[in-house]
Chains A and B, each alone.
Chain A
Amino acid sequence: MKEIKVKITGMDMIQVKVEFSGLSRILAKANDMQLSLSPDQSYVDVIRMVAEKYPTLVGNVIDKSKIALFPSNIFSRNGKTVVMDEQMNDSPQDGEVLILLSLLAGG
């Protein structure tokens, strides 16, 4: 039987931009991060990749498990909707901008 090899090319990957705001920006010392994900990867993978590149976020913005955000931190999708806990295993859309917000009140 002939083996069929599927090569994942750049065309098959989806592009996601994570924008840092507030605490995450200060700790990461970066404004944003571009990610290439395969279509079956999820928001959990996004968190894992961010944690890997910016370990200073772990314990402050990202949970020590590296698969969840620390309480009161959220991913805002394009500034319009929020990635809820039950959606963390879903896959982002190509071109999605995920704003990592540390929510706080007052002033």
Chain B
Amino acid sequence: MNIHYLFALFVALLCIFIPYAGVEFAHMQTFFGVFIPYLAIVIFTVGVISKMLSWVKRPVPFRIPTTCGQQKSLPWIKSNCIDNPSSFFGVILRMAFEILTFRSLFRNTKSTIKEGNKFSYEWEIFLWVGALAFHYAFFVTLFRHFRLFFENTPVCIQIVESLDGLMQIGLPIIYMSGIVLFFAACYLLFRRTYIPQVRYGSLSADFFPLFLIITIAGTGIYMRYFGKVDIVAIKELTAGIFSFSPKVPENVSSIFYIHLFLVCVLFAYFPFSKLMHAGGIFLSPTRNLANNSRIKRHINPWNPKVKIHTYEAYENEFREKMIEAGLPVEKEGA
């Protein structure tokens, strides 16, 4: 146990207690059901945009892609157009693979020393699997929830729902995404506490979002499969928020408010945290630039003026010696 872990746990528990107390004892349904979600949406939107702008407005002085394959050089040497792109199209491919399939994480290896002195590097797939499962499950779950904002569920959401519910065992339909999200987040928490190299540098900011998401997924699963929440009332509330005519129904249980509040905290926290990697990946100069700086000049907007030691100054210092050594000079014996 370290302070980072405990602090994150403490704040997460606080985030559970606040809406619970607020709804159960203070009856602040409108505050937690309407005000907080609006606030969170505003903070999220403004926060993400301003963070992205803060990155975009900063220059990229040099073209520094990390090249992970053969460059484009001689025509008979096959170049790796994805991992060492030389064109814009190649960059699009590289970024697409990076963002959609976590290509770099896929390379992960684990190093061990065998027989006392042999370094060995084995392919380590679990982080990749865990991360991919986590992100896709999160995305699908989030997407499914948009049904709560519409009176009539749009077709695209229906399709995702039916795909997500393919593994139907009984009623209600089991959505894989929620379950996968829960377990993937638990796995990520597990590896963060289990692997010494990861645990050692982990911060509250690493545990906190995991605690939030695990609880969000947990409460969501509870509400869907175990607790009897009034889904019609909830939809009335959420659709109301979305159509800017919020209504607060009476019979929504406090577990929903906990769920909602945690989601709001997550969204409001997003722009100020490492969660912004979701936006940052698009702007990482080692990934989003083509390795073509020998073909086409990359411009540095603040390219500094520097004073170079000129040939003239050089020859002035060494002229006699150069002449003696038979080296050509610009000015004979000046």
Our verdict on whether A and B bind, yes or no, reads: no
List chain B positions with a Cβ less than 8 A from chain A. Answer: none
List chain A positions with a Cβ less than 8 A from chain B. Answer: none
